[in-house]
Amino acid sequence: MFVTTPENLLGLRKSFAVNPDNLPKNDRVNVRNETLASGLRVRVYSPKNEKEEYPALLWIYGGDLSAATTLMTRDKKDPALCFQMLLYPMLDYRNVTPSSHQLNDHHSWSRDSNLAAWGMYLADVSGDVPAYASPSMAGDLSGLPPAYVLAYGLDPFRDEDIDYAQRLMKAGVPVELHVVPGVTHSFEFGCAGTEIADRTVREYVNALYEAMK
């Protein structure tokens, strides 16, 4: 992967977010068009068949998938990851936090949306939900790479994201936690061009750039 500046990273992120055909090839990762996750076709963990599915490690888009991938690579001891970027991730299938109850704005990601999404994702799971499907279920977060965790003040995921970041810190993982007040899930796309949206994007792009130096 060739990255020289935060501006290039930002351009790459926008390009890959809207055009899944731009997904790069990599001999070490078998990328299959099985799952469309937020605009990117990637091979991801499936609760239905853990042994068959293993997450693609390049250009994976979606906080739940990123966190689950990081847990899985730690447990499998290959490959060694240097950084995890968790942007307002969907982590806890239980939906029991205050923010998951308080915030049900149907103009954005809502509690109803979240319940429906988890219901579909875990439709084939019986018994305990594994951490590879719902990372908040992980009992041990030690040995994970440094993390950048972003949470939004009006996002149902806010409290589970903050809790996950705090648990990472308690496990000895270096964490940069950002909480942006007064904004909803994925606001930086709908409000692109505003000062707060541009600042938010630049901060997490810069964090990724610094981690990849």
| pLDDT tens per residue across span 63-114 | 888 898 889 889 988 778 889 999 999 999 999 999 999 888 767 888 988 9
Helix axes 6-18, 195-211, angle to 10 degrees: 110
> Hey, where are the domains in the chain?
63-211
pLDDT in tens, 30-63: 222 233 333 333 334 455 554 434 444 444 457 8
According to the model, what pLDDT value does residue 10 have? 53
Query: Picking from 38-47, 112-121, 185-194, which range would have the lowest pLDDT averaged per residue?
Result: 38-47
Tens digits of residue pLDDT in 122-178? 888 888 999 988 999 999 999 999 999 999 999 999 999 999 999 999 999 999 999
pLDDT at position 3 is 35
What's the pTM value of the predicted model, to 2 decimals?
A: 0.76
Q: How confident is the model at residue 212 (pLDDT cuts 50, 70, 90)?
A: confident
- Does residue 27 have a pLDDT over 90? no
Q: Which amino acid is at 98?
A: P
- Among candidate residues 73, 59, 172, the one with its CA nearest the CA of residue 132: 73
Task: Indicate the length of the chain as a whole number.
Answer: 213
- CA–CA separation, 201 and 12 (whole Å): 13
Q: Which CATH number is 63-211's, of 3.40.190.10, 3.30.465.10, 3.40.50.1820, 3.40.50.720? A: 3.40.50.1820
Strand, helix or coil for residue 11: helix
- Residue 117 near residue 90 (C-beta atoms within 8 A): yes
Report the Cα 73 to chain-centroid distance in Å. Answer: 15
